[in-house]
Amino acid sequence: MRKKIIAGNWKMNKSLEDGLALASEVTNMASDEVSSEVTMIMCTPDIHLSAVSGIAKDATNVTVGAQNMSEHESGAYTGDLSAEMIISAGASFVIIGHSERREYHFETNQQLADRVKLAIAKGLTPIFCCGESLETREANEHVGFVNNQLKESLFDLSAEDMKKVVIAYEPIWAIGTGVTASSDQAQEMHLSIRNSLAGQFGQEVADEISILYGGSMKPANAQELLAQPDVDGGLIGGASLKARDFIDIAKSY
């Protein structure tokens, strides 16, 4: 059975002090309130990873992830973060290809393909992000656009490695806007993503991959989105910055 995952992407928010307070609250509340079937992930700013990992290390259903990773193993890449650094800071997941990185840092599908491969080779679980702009959706090109992102970044993987990837479908028009995809729109795209993976890797592999929805997910809409058969969790931005909201989303299963 595929994993249920509720991941928080803190983006560039929280001082170390505030981040540690949030991580403690989430970790304590998760152990009391959230089903052990749900994996919760806090994807923190790089500089908080080690300390947040320390807080989450004894939790059974809370773990830690980074928000980005270099495609290079090490070397003269000022300001970048390697897979080994992420692992040595105690994290086990890494977001790859968030739309904000694609837009502001011009990350390409090929670069993301290299990062996904390196993350897997080093033992990290990539959370690979895909999703279309409003313009692409209005032109009714969203299915083809997302399929191309999958093809160019993931289709070179072996079936065994593909099973180690988590996918997050995040329509750009729903991120931070308060506009959520309807549960029908989310299910349509998640099914399309799964079918596309099945076409390349086989149905058995596709059925094992967790596909998360991201974009203005909050306690008020989580239950309906998470009830869709191909929505296996969420990647949550704004609502992951408040422990109560983040936990309530995880309790919506």
Closest distance between ligand 13P and the C-beta of residue 168, in Å?
7
Question: What is the distance between the alpha carbons of residues 94 and 173, in angstroms, rounded to a whole number?
Answer: 23
Q: Which residue's Cβ has the minimum distance to ligand 13P?
A: 237
Residue 170 CB, shortest distance to ligand 13P, in Å, is 5
Nearest approach, Cβ of residue 213 and ligand 13P (Å): 9
Binding positions for ligand 13P, 187-216, rule CB under 6 A: 214-216
Q: What CA–CA distances, in Å, run from 99 to 2, 75, 79, 174, 247?
A: 25, 26, 20, 11, 25
Regarding 238 and contact with ligand 13P (CB under 6 A), the answer is yes
Find the binding residues for ligand 13P in span 8-27 (CB under 6 A). Answer: 9
The answer to whether residues 189 and 231 touch, using CB atoms and an 8 Å cutoff, is: no
Dihedral angle of Cα 24, 30, 36, 37, to the nearest 10 degrees: -110
Give the x-and-dash track for 61-100 against ligand 13P (CB under 6 A): -------------------------------------x--
The single residue among 181, 235, 243, 249 that binds ligand 13P, judged by CB under 6 A, is 235
- Which residues 6+ apart lie within 8 Å of 229 measured at CB? 187, 191
Q: Which residues are identified as catalytic?
A: 98, 170
Q: Is 116 helix (H, G, I), strand (E, B) or coil?
A: helix
Task: Please say which residue, 167 or 235, places its beta carbon nearer to ligand 13P.
Answer: 235
* Contacts (Cβ under 8 Å, ≥6 apart) of 158: none
Site size toward ligand 13P, by CB under 6 A: 14
CA distances from 54 to 23, 24, 63, 128, 214 (A): 10, 10, 10, 25, 27
Touching ligand 13P, residues 155-194 (CB under 6 A)? 170, 175-176
Q: Which is nearer to ligand 13P, 201 or 237 (CB)?
A: 237
The two three-digit tokens of residue 98, written as one number: 């968030």
Least separation in angstroms between residue 18's CB and ligand 13P is 17
Q: Is residue 136 a contact residue for ligand 13P (CB under 6 A)?
A: no
Q: For the chain, what percentages of helix, strand and coil (3-state, to nearest 5) are there? A: 50, 15, 35
Chain residues in the site for ligand 13P (CB under 6 A) = 9, 98, 170, 175-176, 214-217, 235-239
